[in-house]
């Protein structure tokens, strides 16, 4: 394969194509550009990134249409992604100032203690297809700000968005070799991860790929590795009279972006006394969701999943859950033939003895009925993942109990499991990440601290452990 071809999920038509890149060439160019970029004052790098935000703002509609065409997302949602790309710059500048400041402490006898931060060098950024602009940008902006250069490989399913993002960096005056674009598939990704001249790997994607990256680099502690992976996220529904509101939060959590968010709710844990009313209302509202191509009028709630393989995998997973004891509440269907549109599915898996602890990356929600709150927490934590968890309803005391006992990096109350703020750290534990959260804390893995003790002139004596000086007589 010498080319990467991108197809529109909503139509099946070819959208974009380009030759596969030479990884060695791109890494070498980024390595050569690093000293000059790193030597720029922070103020100049900040200014360049603010120009980038302005370039994105000027072409926001064009970028949003590119995202929608390539992912199948509704245009309204792609527009919110573009806004996140723009906002990332000011958030990152603030975060870098707070998380990696220069500090000094003077002591007349011991000199000055100074703390500064240095960039790592060349950072490989591997982007996902679900947020092909916002998520890689969330790594690239902090990395550039800290003085690193970047080799960016977008997902092979959304390369056109990645290419446009790289063009916008260049249009802002950021040196072309400071952000090198690698077009390619898994082989190019593997080449970047293992490359001897790459100093760090910043990844957002599946646990399967993240674990493979970790395995390759486990014997190379000199490389910084930030892994933001998926989730099998729980949404617990407890005592609340606001059933319509709870249903809206469930749908936002489980089916936004056609369920293709790492923070999407995969498991709905419901108090048994609320089950009948809640599930009835959930099914009615889910049946009303508009599923259509991204530029349709009226705008749909969700579009297709990324491609036919993903759609096939989801329908097969739904059938597998049925065969293992699941009870269908709302069946998954393929409303547009071979195109990768799938309807949201809801399945009760309460009676299933062994529930698969995997991330089903799409609009497939599993429901579990429980009787006690402690049981709900146990079910919520019944996963190797640990990205996001949310409680809907309950009292402040119950939320405190939920927060204290939830094993997740994001724990919400009466809010969806997704839609996290970029002004907070974003990441999880277990199979969801490696304790290097992104978003506001991305500054932490883009530069390393250097502690120094500094005195203008050498001043030292040895006060103990010396023999008496010898006296010589003539």
* pLDDT tens string 116-171: 999 999 999 999 999 999 999 999 999 999 999 999 999 999 999 999 999 999 99
443 vs 450: CA distance, rounded Å? 15
* Angle at the Cα of 459 from the Cα atoms of 457 and 463, rounded to 5 degrees: 175
pLDDT at 109 over 90: no
For the stretch 171-188, pLDDT in tens is 999 999 999 999 999 999
Where in the sequence numbering do the catalytic residues fall?
228, 262
pLDDT band at 229 (very low <50, low <70, confident <90, very high): very high
Q: Which residue has 């690093």 as its token pair?
A: 34
Among 230-234, 329-333, 463-467, the minimum mean pLDDT is found in 463-467
Please, are residues 382 and 430 in contact by the beta-carbon 8 Å criterion?
Answer: no
- Compute CA 101 distance to the chain's CA centroid, rounded to the nearest angstrom: 25
Q: Give the pLDDT of residue 455.
A: 86
Neighbours of 429 (CB within 10 A): 16
Residue 298: cis peptide before it, omega within 30 degrees of 0: yes
Neighbouring residues of 147: CB distance < 8 A, sequence distance ≥ 6: 37, 38, 40, 42, 45, 118, 119, 447
Give the mean model confidence (pLDDT) for residues 272-276.
97
Q: Give the pLDDT of residue 422.
A: 87
Please, are residues 158 and 70 in contact by the beta-carbon 8 Å criterion?
Answer: yes
253 vs 256: CA distance, rounded Å? 6
For the stretch 389-434, pLDDT in tens is 999 999 999 999 999 999 999 999 999 999 898 899 999 999 999 9
The two structure tokens encoding residue 367: 């429901």
pLDDT at 299 over 70: yes
Give the mean model confidence (pLDDT) for residues 284-292.
98
pLDDT at 1 over 60: no
405 vs 392: CA distance, rounded Å? 16
138 vs 128: CA distance, rounded Å? 12
The two structure tokens encoding residue 101: 């400041």
Please, are residues 68 and 295 in contact by the beta-carbon 8 Å criterion?
Answer: yes
> Closest Cα to residue 238, out of 5, 402, 59?
402
CA end-to-end distance (rounded Å), the chain: 89
- Compute CA 328 distance to the chain's CA centroid, rounded to the nearest angstrom: 31
Dihedral angle sign, alpha carbons of residues 124, 161, 71, 92? positive
Beta bridge partners of 126: 153, 203
Please, are residues 266 and 406 in contact by the beta-carbon 8 Å criterion?
Answer: no
Query: Pseudo-torsion of CA 180, 183, 184, 190, nearest 10°?
Result: 10
For the stretch 314-344, pLDDT in tens is 999 999 999 999 999 999 999 999 999 999 9
For the stretch 9-21, pLDDT in tens is 999 999 999 999 9
Q: Give the pLDDT of residue 151.
A: 98
Q: Please, what is the average pLDDT of the chain?
A: 96
Q: Give the pLDDT of residue 234.
A: 98
pLDDT at 213 over 80: yes
Please, are residues 255 and 345 in contact by the beta-carbon 8 Å criterion?
Answer: no
Give the mean model confidence (pLDDT) for residues 449-463.
88
Please, are residues 388 and 371 in contact by the beta-carbon 8 Å criterion?
Answer: no
For the stretch 305-314, pLDDT in tens is 999 999 999 9
Q: Give the pLDDT of residue 267.
A: 98
Which domains, and CATH codes, for the chain? 3-229+433-454 (3.40.605.10), 233-413 (3.40.309.10)
Please, are residues 71 and 61 in contact by the beta-carbon 8 Å criterion?
Answer: no
């Amino acid at each position: 394969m010498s080319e990467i071809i991108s197809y529109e999920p909503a139509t099946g038509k070819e959208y974009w194509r380009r030759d596969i890149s030479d990884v060695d060439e791109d890494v070498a160019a980024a390595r050569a550009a690093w000293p000059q970029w790193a030597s720029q004052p922070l103020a100049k790098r900040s200014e360049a990134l603010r120009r980038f935000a302005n370039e994105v703002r000027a072409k926001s509609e064009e970028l949003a249409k590119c995202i929608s065409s390539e992912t199948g997302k509704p245009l309204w949602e792609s527009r919110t992604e573009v806004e996140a790309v723009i906002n990332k710059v000011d958030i990152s500048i603030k975060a870098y100032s707070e998380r990696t400041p220069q500090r000094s402490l003077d002591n007349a006898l011991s000199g000055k203690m100074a703390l500064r931060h240095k960039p790592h060098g060349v950072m490989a950024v591997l982007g996902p297809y679900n947020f092909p602009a916002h998520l890689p940008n969330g790594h690239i902006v902090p990395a550039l700000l800290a003085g690193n250069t970047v080799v960016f490989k977008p997902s092979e399913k959304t390369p056109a968005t990645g290419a446009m993002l790289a063009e916008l960096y260049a249009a802002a005056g950021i040196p072309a070799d400071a952000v090198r674009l690698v077009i390619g598939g898994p082989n190019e990704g593997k080449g970047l991860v293992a490359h001897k001249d790459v100093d760090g790997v910043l990844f957002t994607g599946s646990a399967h790929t993240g674990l493979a990256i970790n395995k390759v680099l486990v014997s190379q502690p000199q490389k910084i590795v930030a892994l933001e992976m998926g989730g099998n996220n729980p949404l617990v529904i407890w005592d609340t009279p606001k059933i319509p509101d709870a249903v809206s939060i469930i749908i936002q959590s489980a089916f936004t972006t056609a369920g293709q968010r790492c923070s999407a709710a995969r498991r709905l844990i419901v108090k048994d006394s609320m089950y009948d009313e809640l599930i009835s209302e959930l099914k009615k509202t889910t049946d009303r969701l508009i599923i259509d191509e991204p530029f349709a009028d009226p705008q749909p709630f969700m579009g297709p999943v990324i491609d036919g393989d993903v759609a096939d995998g989801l329908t097969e997973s739904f059938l597998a859950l049925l065969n293992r004891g699941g009870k269908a509440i709302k069946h998954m269907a393929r409303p547009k033939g071979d195109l990768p549109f799938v309807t949201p599915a809801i399945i009760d898996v309460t009676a299933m003895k062994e529930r698969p602890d995997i991330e089903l990356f799409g609009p497939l929600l599993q429901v579990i009925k429980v009787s006690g709150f402690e049981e709900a927490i146990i079910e919520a934590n019944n996963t190797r993942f640990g990205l996001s968890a949310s409680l809907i309803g309950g009292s402040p005391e119950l939320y405190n109990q939920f927060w204290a006992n939830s094993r997740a990096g994001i724990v919400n109350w009466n809010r969806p499991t997704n839609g996290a703020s970029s002004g907070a750290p974003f990441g999880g534990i277990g199979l969801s990440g490696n304790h290097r959260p992104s978003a506001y804390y991305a500054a932490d893995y883009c530069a390393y601290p250097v502690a120094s003790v500094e005195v203008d002139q050498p001043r030292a004596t040895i006060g103990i452990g010396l023999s008496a000086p010898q006296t010589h007589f003539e």
